[in-house]
Amino acid sequence: MAHKGTTHNKAFQDTAQAAQNCQSVCVQSIQHCLEMGGSHVEPSHMQLLQDCAEICETTATMLLRSSLQHNQVTAACATICELCAQSCDRFAGDPQMKACADECRHCAAACQQLVQQQPGGAAGTGHHGTP
Amino acid sequence: MAHKGTTHNKAFQDTAQAAQNCQSVCVQSIQHCLEMGGSHVEPSHMQLLQDCAEICETTATMLLRSSLQHNQVTAACATICELCAQSCDRFAGDPQMKACADECRHCAAACQQLVQQQPGGAAGTGHHGTP
Amino acid sequence: MAHKGTTHNKAFQDTAQAAQNCQSVCVQSIQHCLEMGGSHVEPSHMQLLQDCAEICETTATMLLRSSLQHNQVTAACATICELCAQSCDRFAGDPQMKACADECRHCAAACQQLVQQQPGGAAGTGHHGTP
Amino acid sequence: MAHKGTTHNKAFQDTAQAAQNCQSVCVQSIQHCLEMGGSHVEPSHMQLLQDCAEICETTATMLLRSSLQHNQVTAACATICELCAQSCDRFAGDPQMKACADECRHCAAACQQLVQQQPGGAAGTGHHGTP
């Protein structure tokens, strides 16, 4: 694809990859938590894993198509990834939860960086404001 | 499902329904635009239709599971729906684009209202702030 | 949208609606099962609810764009919906599981009927065979 | 995640990765085709790219959660990937279409192999037959 800005494109693709990796580990983590049972299947924890998988998927797809409207979505993705990481942190000694927290934080950082690179890009404001 | 707040739940379900309706009409509109060709397949217009379909799907799913983290996503959905409606407005006399703009605006309004009902719920801020 | 076959289109839209309804009730049921705990969160049951929600979403989207390639997907959707309904049947006296089983069976029937209407449309065969 | 069969798991993860790669290139290809215009935006070609992206996403997610019900979906994914590859083949000399065809064929082969490994796994039959 011939995009005008190569640097722009590289940041988009790297963040899309981070979001896809995060989605994958969240989907696997949901299955892991169901197999573990107990506190692993607390509704709030499982809800965050599902929310995180879905917003990561949407973010990845928008970035892969170089969407001009990605900014608020990317910012929301950063927030949810960070909350999901914190929820995973509570399961000390569980390698799947550790791996999930790591991917969530990696994705959150990539999203946050992309949001700050946008013109007027404070998280959640968007550079294509609704009138 | 036994949810604590029935009113809360009703607003969530109505907005989820609006988002699903918006997603559906966007998916149909993409096909319509491809069949029409010409200015209907301008990249910026088609990108918005795709973005709108996807963020509506994510928003609907989060609301259906009564997600505590829906706020920034719902706000992003409102923004993208409004931009998509504006893009559809340019095709005067095309009933599919008119129907799409109407559903987008209906969804944007429902999302905006839900965001404003949240504690501390200014659009994009989120009531579960990342530290 | 000006489609050639109105009848064709009507069956597609009705089945898409059934699939979206089924997706919605599955997403709500996942949350319900997490809140219930116990046998409601058995991995096999929860896996089916997730699989069913996702294949219904894909089926709905393909039908909404009148996809020529929907046949194997629609057949897979019918299979998974029926298995999900059977899994929900085990929770006698739970209205959410009852509602979920009902929507799954409604969607399975709609999908099955659509598959049988296709030229050469035995389930899983597809009318656009891979070479 | 403690899965019983490591080999089983490896094939699932490799196929999930192939499906995610295929989804990504299809999403990028849709944007590329919109930017190219002309025969690149023929409805049948664009429909296949969208169908392929979506069934790949569903397949990847089902495999990532080691779904017992993946078989018909994986078979459908193989069919649609092959059809999408054939549609991309028509654009000789276009590197994005070439890359897309390659990823589609890689995913189709991985899916086909996984389907044949299942007990009773002829494509489209499924090893968990609906009664």
Q: Which ipTM score applies to this complex?
A: 0.87
Question: Are C76 and D80 within 8 A, CB to CB?
Answer: no
CA distance D56 to chain A (A): 12
- Quick one: which H or E segment has residue B33? helix B6-36
User: Does residue B101 surpass a pLDDT of 90?
Assistant: yes
Minimum-distance CB partner of A20 among D20, D28, D31: D20
Query: C85-116 burial, b for 16+ CB within 10 Å, e for fewer?
Result: bebbeebeebebbebbbebbbbbbebbbebbe
A50 part of contact set with chain D, CB < 8 Å? no
User: Which residue among A54, A76, A79 sits closest to B61, beta carbon to beta carbon?
Assistant: A54
Direct distance between the N- and C-terminal alpha carbons of chain C, in angstroms, rounded to an integer:
32
pLDDT at D117 over 60: yes
B19 vs C4 pLDDT, higher one: B19
Asked if B54's CB is within 8 angstroms of A68's CB, the reply is no
Region for residue B2 given its phi and psi (left: phi exceeds 0; alpha: psi -120 to 50; beta: otherwise)? beta
Q: Do D1 and A57 touch (CB under 8 A)?
A: no
Q: Which residues contact A2 (CB under 8 A, 6 or more apart)?
A: D35
Cβ proximity of A122 and A130 under 8 Å: no
Helix D6-36 / helix B43-64 crossing angle, nearest 10 deg: 140
Give the pLDDT mean for B67-92.
97
The candidate with the shortest Cα–Cα distance to C85, out of C103, C72, C63, is C103
Chain B CA closest to residue A79? B130
Q: Does C6 touch chain D (CB under 8 A)?
A: no
Q: Has residue B22 got a pLDDT over 70?
A: yes
pLDDT, tens digit, for every residue of D35-93? 999 999 999 999 999 999 999 999 999 999 999 999 999 999 999 999 999 999 999 99
Residue C1 has pLDDT above 80, yes or no: no
Residue whose entry in the numeric block shows the structure tokens 């029926």: C82
Quote the pTM value.
0.90
Place of tokens 């709500």: C28
Residue whose tokens read 């279409």: D97
pLDDT-wise least confident of C50-59, C108-117, D5-14 = D5-14
Residues 9-38 of C with CB under 8 A from A: 30-31, 34-35, 37
C24 close to B64: Cβ distance less than 8 angstroms: yes
* Residue C99 near chain B (CB below 8 Å): no
**φ and ψ at residue B45, rounded to 5 degrees:** -70, -45
So what's the pLDDT on residue D8? Answer: 67
Determine the pLDDT at residue B6: 56
> CA distances (Å), B73 to each of B6, B78, C123, D80, in order?
22, 9, 38, 31
Question: What is the 3-state composition of chain A as percent helix, strand, coil, each rounded to the nearest 5?
Answer: 75, 0, 25
Six-digit token string for A126 = 């968007």
Q: Is A46 at the interface with chain C, CB within 8 A? A: yes
Give the pLDDT confidence of C40-76 residue by residue, as tens digits: 999 999 999 999 999 999 999 999 999 999 999 999 9
By the CB < 8 Å criterion, does D50 face chain A?
no
A2 to chain D, any CB pair closer than 8 A? The answer is: yes
Whether the CB-CB separation of D19 and D11 falls below 8 Å is answered with no
Structure confidence at residue C125 (pLDDT)? 39
Residue B118: which pLDDT band, with cuts at 50, 70 and 90? Answer: confident
- Chain C residue at shortest CA distance from B24: C64
Query: Are C75 and D80 contacting, i.e. CB atoms less than 8 angstroms apart?
Result: no
Are residues A96 and A28 in contact, defined by beta-carbon separation less than 8 angstroms?
Answer: yes
Share of chain C above pLDDT 70, in %: 84
At residue A18 the predicted structure's pLDDT band, cuts being 50, 70 and 90, is very high
Q: Which residue of B has its CA nearest to A66?
A: B47
* Nearest beta carbon to residue B124 from set A65, A70, A72: A72
Q: Which amino acid is at A32?
A: H
CA distance B61 to B55: 10
Q: Give the residue ranges of DSSP H helices in D1-42.
A: 6-36
